[in-house]
Amino acid sequence: MSTDGAMVAAPAVLKERRVEDAATLKALADPLRLAILDVLMAAGDSGPLTAKEIAAALDEPQTKLYRHIKQLEKVGLIGVAGTRLVSGIVESRYAPAQASLRVAPEIFAPGSPTRVDAYDALLAAMDRVRIDFRAHAVADRIDFGTSREAGATGLPGMFSHFTYRLTPERMRRLRRQLDAIFDELGAEGESDAEDAVEATLFTLLYGVRPEQGTDSRTDTRPGTES
């Protein structure tokens, strides 16, 4: 037995949420919670989703999601957008409170009390990418064998992992170049073309200060590229 849904005040959707508190960072430091956020933020016109619908999208047991959903709700990353009574049990529909997230850069500064929590959130995001990548690879949905030459068909994937010695100025310029790529994509917006595909771009750039008393020029590592 079910009754018509009762609408409640849905969370106000921010274009971008700036994350700078420990509680929110801890909530983000889990690949499954990030996956739940991804599903809700990608729902679009399908609207708020129930725990059952989220579980189906993630191919996870519904009971496994409840505590993660509650933690996301507790810190305001998601909210209840509607409820209905199903066989005497209140079923909630959830919606995201923001369209995107940005971690405040100052929380990574030396001495920041939330620095470790921020890095844990980044590591969870890396795990999330790894989990998704493996699932798509096993399902034969990605392609690293297609040529990148002009005129080639297919969806050529790319993987690069290198350690270079750069001057601080060159590294700052590289960061600006990467920012420009993301700004360009953001300005273009998502494609609604019939042949459009979901493209994942994961970027990690960091410079390592040499330990005192060591010569970083002796630290050379081979690169990997595909």
Task: Please give the Cα distance from 134 to 136 (Å, whole number).
Answer: 5
Q: What pLDDT does 224 receive?
A: 60
Number of H helices, E strands in the chain: 6, 8
pLDDT tens digit string along 134-184? 999 999 998 887 766 666 677 888 888 989 899 999 999 999 999 999 999
CB 107 within 8 A of CB 20: yes
Task: Name the region of 188 (left: φ>0; alpha: ψ -120 to 50; beta: rest).
Answer: alpha
* High-pLDDT (> 90) share of the chain, %: 62
Q: What pLDDT does 1 receive?
A: 34
Q: What pLDDT does 2 receive?
A: 35
Phi, psi of 161 (to 5 degrees): -145, 105
CB 157 within 8 A of CB 143: yes
Q: How many residues does the chain have?
A: 226
> Letter for the amino acid at 193?
A
Q: Is pLDDT of 53 > 90?
A: yes
- Per DSSP, helices labelled H in the chain are 22-28, 31-41, 51-58, 62-74, 115-138, 168-188
Q: Which range among 123-127, 141-145, 212-216 shows the weakest confidence by mean pLDDT?
A: 212-216
Task: Please give the Cα distance from 180 to 202 (Å, whole number).
Answer: 15
User: Which residues of 58-210 form beta strands (DSSP E)?
Assistant: 78-86, 89-96, 101-103, 160-161
- The pTM assigned to this predicted structure is 0.80
Q: What pLDDT does 3 receive?
A: 41
Residue 31's contacts (CB-CB under 8 Å, 6 or more residues apart) are: 124, 125, 127, 128, 131
Task: Please give the Cα distance from 40 to 54 (Å, whole number).
Answer: 8
Q: Which two tokens stand for residue 192?
A: 């609604």
